[in-house]
Chains A and B, each alone.
Chain A
Amino acid sequence: MKATSNSGPGLYLYGVSRSAAARPARLRSAGVDGVHPPHPRACDEFVCWVSDVDPHGFAAAMQRNMENLDWLALHSVRHQQVVGEIAAKTTVIPARFATVFSGEAALFKNVRARKSALGKVFLKIANAEEWGVKVFAEARPARAATRAASSGKQYLQQKAARLKQRPGRNDTQVAELATKLERLAQASAPTGKVSGARPDLLWQATFLLSRARRKQWDQTLKQFVKRWEGARRIEVNGPWPPYSFVSDAE
């Protein structure tokens, strides 16, 4: 990487935590660019978790590759490794993926300007984790072998019949699960930009759940797993840092 004449490295921001919390330690994760290690920088009562990035190399690559899933996957995983490691130590407000500042001055100015919003978000996410829940339709019982359609019309009729057999998206049982989970959680948010296109997916959402509610949460999910055996499948993923619940800090 070439050093640039007048400007230092850019700073990639992973998240912001509070300095009152546990003393920041060294992180083991590789930085988002795989080269520069993440580290804490104190800014008033906050700690900004950053790593250096080459503004003319990495940051430009970032812009170019925002729709390149290979690139995105690798760097999202690195981002998550860092944020996850911080979240294991202390409450952290994750920054949006791919946020780069021109330098410390710009970063600190920004953080100071949103001080009160950050404070509110820290209250909201304290002792809570993010969880994803998805409900899939189970494979249908083998239907009578479809005869090859002899006409376009017949083909469409067969297709319509198949679609009809799918559990609907207005499934009341799914709605019941959604309601129960929403009652347990502090907040919920839509999710699934990436995975949402799977055809057997009936419903999915992301929740902010207090750690204290974890037991009830698990019990509720297990009840539905039992009840739905053979009809619907539930997938739960987490715990995540609260990526989906910090937009108030904007």
Chain B
Amino acid sequence: MPNNPETVQLAGTSQEDASLLDILDHVLNAGVVVQGSVVISVAGVDLVYVGLNVVLTSVETALRNLRGKDLRPKKASGNE
């Protein structure tokens, strides 16, 4: 299994943004809810019902930031 699933365009024009949206769709679709004694699990919160424009704008920005970049940060904290 490849590490980075691809959006396969079976027909029609390609939409570059699709892959990030797809990642969000799948990664945020569920997964096990683990309630440790702990946690800050946030999941369960349905996020993105903010309206199409907001989502697409944010995703575009996110893509701009991500595209071509090594996701490994320089160093420093990944806190923000």
Residues of A within 8 A of B (CB): 1, 10, 13, 15-16, 29-35, 54-55, 57-63, 65-74, 76-81, 83-85, 87-88, 93-102, 106-107, 109-110, 129-130, 132, 136, 138, 189, 191-199, 206, 221-222, 225, 228-229, 233-241, 243-244, 246-247, 249-250
Docked complex Cα distance between A25 and B5 (Å): 21
Cβ-defined contact, B65 with A88, below 8 A: no
In the complex where A94-B32, A106-B36 touch, is A225 in contact with B24 (Cβ < 8 A)? no
Smallest Cβ-Cβ distance to A61: which chain B residue: B79
Query: Contact check: which of B8, B21, B24, B43 meets A96 at CB < 8 Å?
Result: B43
Cβ-defined contact, B27 with A76, below 8 A: yes
Smallest Cβ-Cβ distance to B38: which chain A residue: A102
B19-34 interface (Cβ within 8 A of A): 19-34
Cβ-defined contact, A99 with B30, below 8 A: no
Q: What's the tally of chain B residues with a CB closer than 8 Å to chain A?
A: 66
Cβ-defined contact, B52 with A80, below 8 A: no
Cβ-defined contact, B38 with A106, below 8 A: yes
List, sorted by A's number, 22 A–B pairs whose CB atoms are closer than 8 Å.
A1-B79, A29-B3, A34-B78, A66-B42, A68-B58, A77-B23, A80-B23, A96-B32, A97-B43, A100-B39, A100-B41, A101-B39, A102-B38, A189-B29, A193-B25, A197-B52, A206-B26, A235-B10, A236-B8, A241-B1, A243-B26, A247-B32
Smallest Cβ-Cβ distance to B9: which chain A residue: A235
Cβ-defined contact, B79 with A237, below 8 A: no
**Sample of 20 more A-B contacts, CB < 8 Å, known A193-B24, A244-B26:** A1-B77, A1-B79, A58-B77, A69-B62, A76-B23, A80-B23, A84-B5, A88-B2, A93-B32, A96-B41, A97-B31, A98-B40, A100-B40, A193-B46, A235-B8, A235-B12, A237-B18, A246-B30, A247-B32, A250-B33
Contacts of A195 in B (CB 8 A): 18, 21-22, 24-25
Query: Contact check: which of A62, A73, A222 meets B59 at CB < 8 Å?
Result: A73
How distant is A56 from chain B, measured CB to nearest CB, in Å? 9
Cβ-defined contact, B3 with A81, below 8 A: yes
Cβ-defined contact, B31 with A243, below 8 A: yes
Cβ-defined contact, B34 with A95, below 8 A: yes
Contacts of B62 in A (CB 8 A): 69-70, 72-74
